[in-house]
Copies of this chain bind each other. A is one copy, B any other.
């Protein structure tokens, strides 16, 4: 399970609470690689403690709710290293838009194009979000090894969106072309 290992990786960087993980990591940098629900984070932390891969110290705070700070154990470190080197099944992408398109021949052109243009806007927005993430460029000599890795990951996410955007444009053109008109009842 990748979420558990992502959490292990993040806790290895630095001890954190469930709240930290959510707000500093899964809502920020990792968001484009792996989104995670708050409920799932807390439940995964419980599971990792059960498995002995992390431990937890309770930090009592006067003015705020107590924090449960999690640390990776030696077993956790070993497990992460093992997982990082293993190979994992390719994720399956299930894109409703492609299902829509697959059955779209019964829709009028305007409806199909409307769908594609909506998607185009959404994808452009996503790409813009990714672009706004600050990380040294690939050729940057001052970049740390970690930054290079993170940059590479971000680069794929962005190229993925770019490919989608390019495809949407050609799809819109293809459908608008006279060859793809629905059969007319003359």
Residues of A within 8 A of B (CB): 2, 5-6, 9, 12, 30, 33-35, 80-81, 83-85, 87-107, 111-112, 114-115, 118-119, 122-123, 126, 138, 141, 143-146, 148-150, 152-153, 155-157, 159-160, 162-164, 166-167, 170-171, 174-175, 179-183
Q: Could you jot down 20 A-B contacts, CB within 8 Å?
A: A6-B99, A9-B99, A9-B103, A30-B102, A34-B98, A84-B104, A87-B118, A90-B123, A90-B126, A91-B94, A93-B160, A101-B153, A102-B153, A112-B149, A145-B181, A145-B182, A148-B174, A156-B164, A156-B171, A160-B164
On chain B, the residues within 8 Å of A87 by CB distance are 115, 118-119
Asked if A91 and B85 make an inter-chain contact with CB atoms under 8 angstroms apart, the answer reads no
On chain B, the residues within 8 Å of A12 by CB distance are 103
Given contacts A87-B115, A106-B81, A98 and B174 within 8 Å (CB-CB): no
A106 to B181, CA, bound (A): 55
Q: Is the interface of A mostly helix, strand, loop or mixed?
A: helix
Q: Which of A9, A80, A98 has the most CB of B within 10 A?
A: A98
A101 to B85, CA, bound (A): 10
On chain B, the residues within 8 Å of A34 by CB distance are 94, 98-99
Asked if A180 and B148 make an inter-chain contact with CB atoms under 8 angstroms apart, the answer reads yes
On chain B, the residues within 8 Å of A85 by CB distance are 107, 111, 114-115
Give me 17 other A-B pairs in contact (C-beta within 8 A), A91-B95, A143-B179, A148-B175 excluded: A6-B103, A12-B103, A84-B106, A84-B107, A87-B115, A88-B100, A91-B94, A91-B96, A98-B153, A102-B150, A138-B174, A148-B174, A152-B175, A155-B167, A156-B167, A160-B164, A163-B163
